Chain A
Amino acid sequence: MSEAINEKIKNYSTAPFDARFPNTNQTRNCYQNYLDFHRCNKVLSAKDHDVTACEWYKRVYKSLCPIGWVDKWDEQVENGSFPGKI
């Protein structure tokens, strides 16, 4: 299972089509992947599992989200003022 994900991460070119977000507005696609990365990290590190699988979400949100948005959210996460539920 983790080999499949690692294979996907290795062959990553750009964020693939996500059927959950088929329309023009991709704001939620970017935000959801950002949330999913942090949630994945939180859950897997709590159980002392390998967090490399979470790298997929990171690649996707890095592709989709404007750098300014990511920097702002990273700062908020560090401050503890990030409004989303992680």
Chain B
Amino acid sequence: MAPHLSFPIALVYIIILLIPLLTLRLLAILPPNRPPPAKRKRGTPTRLLIVLGSGGHTAEMLAMLRNAEASGLRWKDYTHRTWVVSSGDSVSADRAKGFETEVAANCSGSRVKDHALGISLMDSPEKPRAGEDVVGSYDIAILPRARRIHQSLLTTPISALYCLYHCFRILSSLPASQYPDLILANGPATATILILASLILRFFDIRGASKRGTMRTVYVESWARVNRLSLSGKLLVRVVDRFLVQWPGLEGVGGRGEFLGVLV
């Protein structure tokens, strides 16, 4: 008769076996092992998620996007923009709306479709009426703050978990084919939680989250960071698909910081 394996010992064996498997899985979804994005034709529907934050984060983000547009970025290629703002940050929400209005005005005669969705709503975008020239659509999603300014780092994990829950809801409240294609962030703690949420979804491949072109992440370290990364930057440097810095002293940070000059 076979020796009887006690339950605690069996559990230990399982955990020991799982660790390498989980590690391999994690490594597979992170750079440099994550496969490059699948090729995509311009004009197909895309969803860009832009994270705004208090203080200079929003100012820098909008300055960067305006410069990108000036250097040839076509908003028509980024058909749907989701602007993520922290709860209470009405200034950032207003700036996002203002930016979208500018985008529409720059393509003369176009209008931007405004879907002001809260995190609990989901609407499929209407089809444009015949003859209507639209520069895509946008919505503004609101997230509870991961950390308030001056908040003690001891209580931050609690508020961060609450924020994480809502990140899942924002990212996966739409059918899998509409996970954001690209997440763009430049530093607020909210962005870190959101990117972490996207990693968890991809790790477990929830509703096909682990595809090559889904939820790719671009992180731009703040222009205010000259010699040292921010806390968000340190947490994300090995985890995002592209990591950009704006001062030469940070080029190559984490083995992968890319320096293309000042972007703001």
Q: Is chain B a partner of chain A in the same complex?
A: no
Chain B residues within 8 Å of A, Cβ to Cβ: none
Chain A residues within 8 Å of B, Cβ to Cβ: none
